[in-house]
Chains A and B, each alone.
Chain A
């Protein structure tokens, strides 16, 4: 069922955990609240569960106002961060807890079904402390799901698991969600987890929703530096607008502040409304979108930077025409297995990160080598330069 939060706030003393928040979680979706610790995501979840009373605002479940309903009267269940399994009850009694409280007499069939769903059939008589972390996690999930809640809330459910198990559980959670078709609201600080599992992600920062959308949109076209840095890595370059979109072209033309290199990007990918000539922006590009081409020195490459269409003569061999280009020098190269990570010093920006697929690598790309960095204009995005360019970086 659809959850609608309107104007929800929560303050603890003089600390505001959640600023006025409007959020709609569509029915049947897998919705992630993503953010660093202290961003208000768990508080938001707890307000939906009824464990925290909102300071103001309303929460609708479908058309029903549940803002002031106590938790035991809400058709909503939670998978807690530390699972919160009852240590004095065995696995099947833990799972049956909700049904029994609602007066269901014969629970054994449903419990058995749930144990099958989470693949714990032979653990029914164990006590929680006799289970591994992953098994406990699945019991917690079964204990919530057996009640067929309208909405299932998951509070960092995979936080305590190791990486491999977490990956496995991510797929499993996604499978179960597709199978039961219940609305899932998932709180996490792990951007990868949010992107793998959720249909839509709300990135929260300082008690506010920074950006909301499908994972690919958030990643490809972040609208703030926090989103750009918190989801993956971004290279942010200071630049100045040369000309805005015109009738014949919807491209923005820019110049880097550092070395006056021309850059272009589609106007739709600029997060700043109605940019004017001379306005400062932060130009962003994801490290894996950038290609590197080796050059012999800085002189041969920089000539190419001419007004408007670059002169073909100055384009080093192997750099496609129409790409955005920067020149630089490799300062560091590290092998990551699937890719190489390069740190590149450019006049436009002190340090750029580039990931190159580990296929047919140019062996001349070693620290000290001069390179041309180039990428498609449509992989470029532009953000308001008034923000902190490093927001969200240290949060990971």
Chain B
């Protein structure tokens, strides 16, 4: 997979996950035995901070969460592990709709990101010339403002009587989206359209950056070779450029789809109760209902479903064949 490191919660962990290969330079032969032993251990010492981080902040909570998910009881009486697997079936039964909605919204947002992001990444990588760095900075610029603020800004943009609603309405696009069930009552806010727009906007850089990095690495002489071998510009794109950018497509879609499926901010701020995603449901169970076992079970279901979908997708995309 392409190695663009987006700012993500696992940042510190992934930084340590790739230790320097334990190579044995020739100079080591002349070194004393102690020096050689120390050098042999160096990679492990370097792994230690990341390992500790992962153990404390990932493995331990995961186990704690797993145990919570099979507990029963209430906040007043306390929760005990009773191997109550019905937590899982109950969660699926009650919130199945939320899961489906989450994956649908995430999938649509990912597809939109790909359609918007690919041409942009292509232009930056292959056509921007000396403007390349400026455009890249503009792609990353939104990160200088908090996620929450940006989403709130969308609330203003899409608000009733705002410019977007007015424009869409006068162009009769709202009629189309209404017919598609994406909007209702001549408003955009608090509709599926708003949530998908928010998701698309917020995760677009995560699509563009890996796409850019894989497009940028394509040897332009390959494109010349294709043209030389009777490929029209469109065929060159279809047969050479796009297949060679697949690692970026896979990385970008994963970096967009995974966080988008678990997102709850966009649905919270831009949607109504009928656009609630699974993230909202989990949040509600944890913080409002205080039903920890159900919340934990839902988290695990979400994680498992994402893992399943990602592994099927990775197998289909078959990117290990690519350079």
Interface residues in chain A, defined as those with a beta carbon under 8 Å from any beta carbon in chain B = 49-51, 70-73, 76-78, 80-82, 84-88, 97-98, 101-102, 127, 129, 143-144, 147
In terms of DSSP, what is the predominant structure of the interface of chain B? helix
Shortest C-beta distance, A41 to chain B (Å), equals 17
- Which chain B residue lies CB-closest to A143? B229
Interface residues in chain B, defined as those with a beta carbon under 8 Å from any beta carbon in chain A = 219, 221-222, 224-232, 235, 239-240, 243-244, 321-323
Q: Are B231 and A101 in contact (CB under 8 A)?
A: yes
- Which chain A residue lies CB-closest to B221? A84
Q: Are A80 and B230 in contact (CB under 8 A)?
A: no
Q: Which A residues lie within 8 Å of B219 (CB)?
A: 82, 84
Q: Which A residues lie within 8 Å of B231 (CB)?
A: 72, 97, 101
Q: What is the bound-complex CA distance between A78 and B227, given in angstroms?
A: 10
Give the interface centre of A77, A81, A88 by most chain B CB atoms within 10 Å: A88
Q: Which B residues lie within 8 Å of A50 (CB)?
A: 227-228
Q: Are A72 and B232 in contact (CB under 8 A)?
A: yes
Q: Are A87 and B228 in contact (CB under 8 A)?
A: no
- Which chain A residue lies CB-closest to B227? A71
Shortest C-beta distance, B238 to chain A (Å), equals 11
- Which chain B residue lies CB-closest to A129? B323
Question: Can you list 13 A-B pairs, Cβ within 8 angstroms, ordered by A?
Answer: A70-B227, A71-B224, A72-B228, A78-B228, A80-B221, A81-B221, A82-B221, A86-B222, A97-B226, A101-B229, A101-B232, A127-B321, A144-B228
Give the interface centre of A50, A77, A86, A147 by most chain B CB atoms within 10 Å: A86
Q: What is the bound-complex CA distance between A85 and B323, given in angstroms?
A: 12
- Which chain A residue lies CB-closest to B222? A84
Shortest C-beta distance, A333 to chain B (Å), equals 38
Q: What is the bound-complex CA distance between A85 and B222, given in angstroms?
A: 7
Q: What is the bound-complex CA distance between A324 and B229, given in angstroms?
A: 56
Q: Which of B230, B240, B322 contacts A147 (CB 8 A)?
A: B230
Q: Are B229 and A77 in contact (CB under 8 A)?
A: yes
Q: Which A residues lie within 8 Å of B240 (CB)?
A: 86
Shortest C-beta distance, A40 to chain B (Å), equals 18
Q: Which of A73, A82, A87, A143 contacts B323 (CB 8 A)?
A: A87
4 nearest CB pairs, A to B: A84-B225, A98-B229, A101-B230, A84-B221
Q: Which B residues lie within 8 Å of A144 (CB)?
A: 228-229
| Given A101-B235, A147-B229, residue A84 in contact with residue B224 (CB < 8 A) | yes
Q: What is the bound-complex CA distance between A101 and B229, given in angstroms?
A: 7
Q: Are B244 and A97 in contact (CB under 8 A)?
A: no
Q: Are B244 and A88 in contact (CB under 8 A)?
A: yes
Q: What is the bound-complex CA distance between A84 and B227, given in angstroms?
A: 12
Q: Are A87 and B244 in contact (CB under 8 A)?
A: yes
Q: Which B residues lie within 8 Å of A85 (CB)?
A: 225
Q: What is the bound-complex CA distance between A285 and B243, given in angstroms?
A: 57
Q: Are B227 and A72 in contact (CB under 8 A)?
A: yes
Q: Which A residues lie within 8 Å of B227 (CB)?
A: 50-51, 70-72
Shortest C-beta distance, B321 to chain A (Å), equals 7
Q: What is the bound-complex CA distance between A122 and B323, given in angstroms?
A: 22
Q: Which A residues lie within 8 Å of B235 (CB)?
A: 101
Q: Are A78 and B323 in contact (CB under 8 A)?
A: no
Q: Which A residues lie within 8 Å of B322 (CB)?
A: 87-88
Q: What is the bound-complex CA distance between A339 and B251, given in angstroms?
A: 61
Q: Which A residues lie within 8 Å of B226 (CB)?
A: 86, 97
